[in-house]
A and B are shown apart, each in its own frame.
Chain A
């Protein structure tokens, strides 16, 4: 009997331990923070309370995130700073949507960056009554959807909560974004050069933004400027065909991403055989990659400020 009891105890212990580690891994992988939110609810706070003090104002700038520390401050950081300068009455906060990047920065560099739920919860707990959520995403893709999904439970908790639009939302945005970027790209003057933008690409219907951008460029007279994506369409082969048809002899590559991170450094400008730089060279083009995220363009930062302004005034 004693033995049986011991066996049971050990068994229960092992089971409990296994259980512990299991739940630990869930909470770690659950970077979306649903757990944190529900924990706060359980802690006895009045979750039905609505923050009405609109003199306490905040702008939450939501980005995908990047593990490139240097680039992050030049791009996401620069957009945040520009918004801070433009709206001095507002507290400007940062959140990332990529759980993978949040975890990586925490594990590798000890940096704590909030996800959207955590940031919203903090704003709520601190009594902010007016909140503008401004994404730095390119378009209304999955990241944007997920951001909205994460903010949704908080919508009724602030007397004023509004969303800014991503970079490319309506027709005017395309035109403005093209003007902002092209004014800082000297190579368009050279008729032997093709300028190629590398976007990310997605299987979300919003991917059509890239084709639209490509068309808009031509409409605005930029015949030798082309747009492709790493992960979707138009792909490298589509862009190559356009470049071949253009008669250009030289290709200048720019990322069409807020941050010049992993994709810009490796997929676009890397020395690997499958980078766009190498693939264009293999086709006989003199190829020059420029590592400059969209967040580094003054005009693009101003556009985000305008989108924020529209949200907080709207």
Chain B
């Protein structure tokens, strides 16, 4: 290194240290204003000098909410978190493992919930003894949700975001409530939380409230908790079968903590074929994470419950009755709403460590989990209703603005429906141009698509109106 270089290097170092100092002063002065004090849900007094910068969250709802609050970049680790999709790639810390791993990661905040302290008191104590602040939060009822979010916001310096998110959250819940409250034909609902002894939820639990908000009448509105403080309530097969003809909608909760049945297993239980909802195919499975977990995603669970109860009201697609050329995004929304299928939510904590032959939920380069149509797009793709594209290095793209051709529409429609081979074999002059000859032939034979001078015109783009017309054929087939 010559002399000039040495001088330059020295000046650089001096500048660097000054800029560092500036930052240090700033953060110190900020911290004096931002002193955080509250009692956490383990009854422990929390006092922090400044918002956290390196957080390990051991509860998936905390993780989700921190991402919603816009502080996802402050998270350095999680436990069994798979939503939002980026949370699945956080380093994993397990309270059943070695606390030294947490200590070595040097977080400035470990977020837990009371359940974890009860399960692993020594683990938590070891981390506390190492001087790492541990905050335990869990809203025991829906009424405490705002307070809980505000505490998370304090810890992550996102109070402004929290206010807006909470306003939006409550507005959306109220909008659903208002919509469904006007329905004359009230639906009776049974909510199954586990299939062992067929248990339900308490009426004041988050799931219980979701049924109420969605405009349903909870068959188990008098259910009492199985243990004090629990949201699980005994119900039993006998009482269900007594009310078999009254149950309009049967919702079953599944996930790592709950094992409700599904349409097939429920309908195969002895006597259950007499249940009105089973006879009418109104058995729906909902992921516990969106209906029983204190996260902003709860609004999705409430909306889903309302869709199960009042599909026509919640899944209206009148706004697409126009002659605009349709895009993939348009089709995805129309398809999911038209079929009234539940939104796709991965449930297994190993979802991202398992290889998927098709699309992996949440990994489109061009669709963010905050996209307003995220659930419709992911659900349509996961059900094979709409195509997507693979780019360089296996990257996945939805290409939401891409127009939809007749050839594509034919394939997607065939996957959505149950079309039969009618063996008419109407001649199609340009069938060779289609990538899905077998499907096009069946759909033309079934008069789902009309020919133009003997041609199918596979490459021609379709309008929204044409899609709605094509979807309406699914009712017949």
Chain B residues near A14: list those with CB within 8 A. Answer: 126, 129-130
In-complex Cβ contact of A18 among B98, B357, B359 (8 A): B98
Chain A residues near B438: list those with CB within 8 A. Answer: 283-285
Docked CA distance A22–B196 (Å): 32
Docked CA distance A284–B439 (Å): 5
Asked if A10 is at the interface of the complex by the 8 Å CB criterion, the answer is: yes
Which of B48-56, B167-175, B258-266, B454-462 forms contacts with chain A? B258-266
Proximity string of chain B (195-239) to chain A, C-beta cutoff 8 Å, 1 when within and 0 when not: 110000000000000000000000000000000000000000000
| Size bracket of the B interface | 35 or more
Minimum C-beta distance from B2 to chain A (A): 50
- Contact yes or no, B381 A273, CB < 8 A: yes
- Contact yes or no, A274 B259, CB < 8 A: no
Docked CA distance A126–B437 (Å): 66
Asked if A250 is at the interface of the complex by the 8 Å CB criterion, the answer is: yes
Asked if A162 is at the interface of the complex by the 8 Å CB criterion, the answer is: no
Proximity string of chain A (265-289) to chain B, C-beta cutoff 8 Å, 1 when within and 0 when not: 1000001111000100111111000
- Contact yes or no, B442 A284, CB < 8 A: yes
Docked CA distance A25–B421 (Å): 56
- Contact yes or no, A286 B341, CB < 8 A: no
In-complex Cβ contact of A21 among B120, B266, B358 (8 A): B120
- Contact yes or no, A291 B97, CB < 8 A: no
Knowing A25-B96, A192-B421, A271-B383, say if A69 contacts B359 (CB, 8 Å). Answer: no
- Contact yes or no, A281 B414, CB < 8 A: yes
- Contact yes or no, A25 B195, CB < 8 A: no
In-complex Cβ contact of A278 among B99, B122, B130, B383 (8 A): B383
| Size bracket of the A interface | 35 or more
Proximity string of chain A (172-208) to chain B, C-beta cutoff 8 Å, 1 when within and 0 when not: 0000000000000000000010000000000000000
Knowing A21-B99, A284-B436, say if A68 contacts B265 (CB, 8 Å). Answer: yes
Minimum C-beta distance from A285 to chain B (A): 8
Docked CA distance A265–B285 (Å): 13
In-complex Cβ contact of A274 among B126, B194, B357 (8 A): B357
Asked if B182 is at the interface of the complex by the 8 Å CB criterion, the answer is: no
Asked if A46 is at the interface of the complex by the 8 Å CB criterion, the answer is: no
Asked if A71 is at the interface of the complex by the 8 Å CB criterion, the answer is: yes
- Contact yes or no, A70 B383, CB < 8 A: no
Asked if B44 is at the interface of the complex by the 8 Å CB criterion, the answer is: no
Proximity string of chain B (397-428) to chain A, C-beta cutoff 8 Å, 1 when within and 0 when not: 00000000000000100110011110000000
Minimum C-beta distance from A22 to chain B (A): 6
In-complex Cβ contact of B97 among A21, A71, A111, A271 (8 A): A21
Proximity string of chain A (9-50) to chain B, C-beta cutoff 8 Å, 1 when within and 0 when not: 010001001101110110010000000000000000000000
Minimum C-beta distance from B82 to chain A (A): 16
Minimum C-beta distance from B342 to chain A (A): 10
- Contact yes or no, A109 B194, CB < 8 A: yes
In-complex Cβ contact of A22 among B98, B264, B357, B420 (8 A): B98
Chain A residues near B382: list those with CB within 8 A. Answer: 271-273
Chain B residues near A283: list those with CB within 8 A. Answer: 438
Docked CA distance A69–B257 (Å): 14
Asked if B256 is at the interface of the complex by the 8 Å CB criterion, the answer is: yes
Asked if B268 is at the interface of the complex by the 8 Å CB criterion, the answer is: yes
Asked if B125 is at the interface of the complex by the 8 Å CB criterion, the answer is: yes
Asked if A108 is at the interface of the complex by the 8 Å CB criterion, the answer is: yes
Closest A-chain residue to B385, C-beta based?
A273
Docked CA distance A20–B100 (Å): 12
Chain B residues near A274: list those with CB within 8 A. Answer: 356-358
- Find the residue from A10, A68, A111 having the highest chain B CB count within 10 A: A68
Asked if B384 is at the interface of the complex by the 8 Å CB criterion, the answer is: yes
In-complex Cβ contact of B259 among A17, A109, A285 (8 A): A109
Chain A residues near B442: list those with CB within 8 A. Answer: 284
Chain B residues near A71: list those with CB within 8 A. Answer: 265
Chain A residues near B126: list those with CB within 8 A. Answer: 14, 17-18, 21
- Contact yes or no, A70 B357, CB < 8 A: no
- Contact yes or no, B259 A272, CB < 8 A: no
Docked CA distance A67–B260 (Å): 11
In-complex Cβ contact of B196 among A20, A28, A69, A250 (8 A): A69
Chain B residues near A74: list those with CB within 8 A. Answer: 268
Asked if B142 is at the interface of the complex by the 8 Å CB criterion, the answer is: no
- Find the residue from B256, B258, B264 having the highest chain A CB count within 10 A: B264
- Contact yes or no, B97 A25, CB < 8 A: yes
Docked CA distance A68–B420 (Å): 32
Asked if A212 is at the interface of the complex by the 8 Å CB criterion, the answer is: no
Chain A residues near B436: list those with CB within 8 A. Answer: 284
Minimum C-beta distance from A291 to chain B (A): 5
Chain B residues near A286: list those with CB within 8 A. Answer: 418-421
Chain A residues near B98: list those with CB within 8 A. Answer: 18, 21-22, 25
Chain B residues near A272: list those with CB within 8 A. Answer: 358, 382-384
Binding site for B on A (CB under 8 A): 10, 14, 17-18, 20-22, 24-25, 28, 67-71, 74, 108-111, 192, 249-250, 265, 271-274, 278, 281-286, 291
A-B contact pairs, 21 of them (CB 8 A): A14-B129, A25-B96, A25-B97, A67-B259, A69-B265, A70-B265, A70-B266, A109-B194, A109-B196, A111-B196, A192-B421, A249-B421, A273-B383, A274-B357, A278-B384, A281-B414, A282-B411, A283-B438, A284-B414, A284-B436, A286-B420
The 10 residue pairs across chains A and B that have the minimum distance between CB atoms = A284-B438, A273-B384, A70-B265, A274-B358, A274-B357, A278-B384, A273-B358, A284-B439, A249-B421, A17-B122
Contacts A25-B98, A70-B265 known; 17 new A-B pairs at CB < 8 A: A14-B126, A17-B122, A18-B98, A22-B97, A24-B96, A25-B94, A67-B259, A69-B196, A70-B195, A110-B196, A192-B421, A271-B341, A271-B382, A272-B358, A273-B359, A274-B358, A282-B415
Binding site for A on B (CB under 8 A): 94, 96-100, 120, 122-123, 125-126, 129-130, 194-196, 256-259, 261-262, 264-266, 268-269, 341, 356-359, 381-384, 411, 414-415, 418-421, 436-439, 442
